[in-house]
Amino acid sequence: MNTPYIKRSLEAVLMRAVSQFPAVLVSGPRQSGKTTLLRRLFGDSHRYVSLESPDIRALATEDPRSFLETYPSPVIFDEAQYAPELFFYIKEKIDANRHRKGQFLLTGSQNLALTEKVTESLAGRVAVLRLLPLSRREMDAMPGLPLPWEPREEVSVKNSWSFAKLWEGLLRGGYPELAAWPEMDEFLWHGGYIQTYLERDVRSLRYVGDLALYQKFLQVLAARSGQLLNLTDVSRNLGVSVNTVKAWLSVLEATYQVIVLQPYFSNVGKRLVKTPKVYFTDTGTLCYLAGLKDPQHAASGPMGGAIMETAVLSEIVKTLTHRGEIPRIFFWRTMAGNEVDFVVETGGRLVPVEVKLSATPRQIMARSINVFCEEIGEAAMPGYVVHPGEMCLPLSPDAVTLPLTQL
């Protein structure tokens, strides 16, 4: 049975890239829908070849010229990270017919050697796009909906999500297969996903020797989600060196499993915290690693705030990424304790976003945004206090509440 297709925000960007570049790479985590997207849009015009198959991979690496004669363009090469040597020979083919667009469409689920090899061998010939799991707007069939601080026509965003359904969705996450098949057990799915990730994406990397210890590292990070990341504390907890923790974190970031958030610095004459924060890209991954199965427990337990923050950050990152943009998102925290969860840089301005677990907005919730806007001055735009309830109302001249479902 075919998985129902959910329209992706990246479609328009991808179509434009294929019409302008000889090659296009769509990278992203496993199961984010890369293959489905390419085959949906280009299945009739391009042959499909998976490099994950050992025999196909062997031919591609041992005799790349013969391989490209056997599978000529236009072609989709899936999981291209398995045969990075192929890129130099793809360059030859492209240069022989440089003006022909959309010859090679590539996908990849690792961003370590893949992007390096692609940019090294196909510089100026390839557009690199990223596809993450589904955003909320994609699930709600509104893939082109702008973010709240961007110009938008009056659009009715129906809040069909009760409090319970909202938390069920956060536990489930945004991977297309889970969204398409509501009857599927998400806890079992995420367990299989993590195992596949460890076996296929991590085992081959030189930074990781002990997969069991690496999986424990994932769980340790999940417990610290949304907190300032003390690498020394993590290394001590795991019994490994700080450099090992740094290498493992880079693996997680390069395989799109986490988002490392850096602090925002401005010349305000105050000491600011310099330590980064780490969030998982998908709320379902976070909840699985934290051992959460019950929506009520997730909402009322100690991880509730981190899950809400992950949902908000993930939605903003996915929305911008699926337009082909590179998100510029930070957090702001002073040594005096003033903190804004997220600061989104857009058009030279800064949008402060606070996330609250309470569905009952109060004026005190806007305090951090008010301080931020006062410190930053004209560069700051009015901000938002995102919460799981249904109320939209102003809390101060610089802050308004925003339901998560309206984000």
Domain ranges within the chain, ordered by starting residue: 11-130, 136-406
* Angstrom distance (rounded) from CA 103 to CA 90: 9
* Nearest one of 396, 395, 377, 397 to 387, comparing CA atoms: 395
Other C-beta atoms lying within 10 Å of the C-beta of residue 230 = 12
Looking at domain 11-130, its CATH architecture is 3-Layer(aba) Sandwich (3.40)
- Tens-digit pLDDT string for the chain (407 aa): 566 889 999 999 999 999 999 999 999 998 999 999 999 999 999 999 999 889 999 999 999 999 999 999 999 999 988 888 898 999 999 999 889 999 999 998 866 667 777 777 788 899 999 999 999 999 999 999 999 999 876 655 555 577 788 999 999 999 999 999 999 999 999 999 999 888 777 776 666 778 888 899 999 999 999 999 999 999 999 999 999 999 889 888 888 999 999 999 875 555 677 889 999 999 999 999 999 999 999 999 999 999 999 999 999 999 999 999 999 999 998 888 889 999 999 999 999 999 999 888 889 998 999 999 999 999 999 999 999 988 888 899 999 999 998 88
**Per residue in 56-91, is it b (16+ CB within 10 Å) or e — as a string?**
bbebbeeebeebbeebebebbbbbbbbbbebbebbb
**Interhelix angle 242-254/231-238, nearest 10 degrees:** 100
pLDDT of residue 81: 85
**Per residue in 114-133, is it b (16+ CB within 10 Å) or e — as a string?**
bbebbeebbeebbbbbbbbb
